[in-house]
Every structure is written in structure tokens, then in C-alpha cells.
Structure 1
Amino acid sequence: MDFVFLYFMITLSVANATLRGPQVVNGNEGESVQITCTYHMFFRNYQKYWCKGKNRSACTILVKTQGSEKTISEGRISIKDDKRVGEFTVTMDQLTLNDQDMYWCGIIRFLMDLQIPVKLDIFESHQLLPPVTDNLSVQEIRKNNSKYHFIWSILRWIFFVILLLWGIVAMRI
């Protein structure tokens, strides 16, 4: 059993569900958007960031938290970490068509950052945003996310133990 493969499997099963955010965000040229990424409370004291780029390993960090819950701004982009609820919010003001790209919500960790992709689509100012098809309120979404995080917080450790035992057994064979 290759140690790298085992490490990769454990990392996927335990770590990647600890950070969530929208897959696609729509905005109008000249206006603002807010992107909220939620994380497991274990990571509340870790530094969070927002980066831009097609590839997660080569994205450019645009703004990052400084350890407190203060809003940090870099030009038209700001980030605020709400450690009480386990989420950080990125605000991009005065959107331009050039802002349309792939972005990443990220948490700085030793060896491997946690990241999730967010596609930002910008519509020209005379176009309307596509219609919203679901009627879920923010509270309902947070409630659903809370249930998901609770269930996953239990299941991921079960998966971790299974993978660990599988790795130990495979090394003995």
C-alpha cells in the first residue's frame, strides 16, 4: 500500500467537506456581489482568503483575513470572517466584465490549503440577472447546511477510521 495514496484518500474523506460555498455567483456590471463560504468551526482561527485563477494550485490571492473579525479591504474587494457562525464573506464592488473568472474560497493550512471553486459570471449592465428558481431563504439554507455539516462531521470520521484500518491491513499483507 502506497503511503501517498492512503494520505490522499484520508485527506479527501476528512478535509474537503469542511469548506462550502456557492458553485456559481452572478453579478451585474457596475454593481456588487457577496460570496459567503462556510467552514467547520475547527478552522475558525485559521487564515481565510479569496483568490482568482483557473487552477487551484496557481491562483492569485486577492485578499485574506488578518486573524480578527475585522473587514479587510484590498481595492474593490473585501473579506470578513465571522468566527461565531463559521463563515467568511467576500464582497466585490464595482464589477467589470473582466472580473468574470474562476475564484477560490480558501483556508490556509500546513501542507495543503482547503479550497473550493466559485465561478463568477458578470452580465452587462443592460442585461438582467437570470431568474432565481428556488425560494429558499438564507435561514433555510443555513439550516440545511447545518444539518449537512453535523451528519458529515460524524460520517467523515467513520470513513477516516475505515481508511486507516484498510491501510494498516494492506501494509501487513
Structure 2
Amino acid sequence: MNLITAFLLMILIGHSTSDYLHSITCPYENRNISQNRRVWCKRDVQDENCCTGFSFRPGISVLEDGNLQVQDDGKAFTVSVQTLAQGNGVYWCGFMTEDKVIVKLAEDYFAEFNFVWSILRWILFILLPLVAISTHIYLNRKHGDAKTT
């Protein structure tokens, strides 16, 4: 069993990301801002009021070579992230006013998805009850054999 687990881990370690999408929804209630440029940026670690990123026009649905996907329903826009170009951290979504002021609508912590852990946790999820049941059966047999002797 340990040999199979080790082999599976060796295969999976080479691949660290997947098509997992982490999303954030950026609601806007005021219809006057529906045509303003959207903003996607990563919060600066030293200055929480600053961020590094870019703005984009409404109607754009794919950004950064497909790593970001944007959907807009007229009341909010949702940014789905496949790969983080700037790495793990707190990301903002918002809009830019005509005066070039960024208004933050939402923020969330984004981290690269660990593919190995995503598979390993399901294997452990299945193995843990099997080990518990097997141990219970083994101990009951052992105690049952001791009673008959």
C-alpha cells in the first residue's frame, strides 16, 4: 500500500496547478458606474491602500492570456482566476472613476491551488475510515479469539 501511495505522489508532484478557478464578485449598485473601467489589482504588502494591477473596459471577458475570466450581469462583475500572475496575496476588484480614482468593491485572498493536496486529501478521506474499520474488526476478532480460549 505504501508503495502505491509513494508512486502516486511521485506522479502528482510534477504538476502544481490545475484548472481550478477562484472567483470574486464585485457588486455595483449604481448604474452610472456600469460603463466605468474595471480594476483588478494585488494589494501592496507594505501599504494596504495601494495595489498593483490594471484596468479594463466593460465587456472584456478574457484577460492575461486566459488566466482571468470576467463575467458581468449588469449588477456585478465576477473575476475568476486560473493562475495568479503576481503570486499569492490579497486582490481587489473595483472600478476607476473619471478622475482616475480606484474604488474598491471587493477583496479576497487568492493563493495558487495545490494539485497534489487536492488529490491526496481525497485519498486520505477514503483511507481513514477504511483503517478505522479494519482496526475495529481486527481488535474485535482478537478479543473474540481470547474469549474462546
* Aligned counterpart in structure 1 of residue 51 of structure 2, from 59, 78, 90: 59
Q: What CA deviation, in whole Å up to 9, does each residue of 1:25-66 have, x standing for no partner?
A: xxx83223232221113321111111113345431114x332
CA distance in 1, matches of 2:37, 2:73: 11
Check conservation: 2:68, 2:81, Cα contact below 8 A: yes
* Aligned counterpart in structure 2 of residue 74 of structure 1, from 60, 64, 83: 64
What's the secondary structure of 2:116's corresponding residue? coil
Amino acid paired to 2:89: D
Check conservation: 2:17, 2:114, Cα contact below 8 A: yes
Alpha-carbon spacing, 1:73–1:121, altered in 2? closer, same or farther (3 Å): closer
List aligned pairs for 1:10-29, cutoff 5 A.
29=17
Q: Which has the larger radius of gyration?
A: 2
Please report the RMSD computed on the Cα atoms of aligned residues, expressed in angstroms: 3.1
Check conservation: 2:83, 2:112, Cα contact below 8 A: no
Task: Look up the match of 2:25.
Answer: 36
Structure 2 unaligned runs (5+)? 1-15, 122-149
Task: Look up the match of 1:87.
Answer: 76
Task: Look up the match of 1:113.
Answer: 102
Structure 1 unaligned runs (5+)? 1-27, 131-173
1:101 aligns with 2:89: yes
Amino acid paired to 2:88: Q
Alpha-carbon spacing, 1:121–1:35, altered in 2? closer, same or farther (3 Å): same
Alpha-carbon spacing, 1:70–1:111, altered in 2? closer, same or farther (3 Å): closer
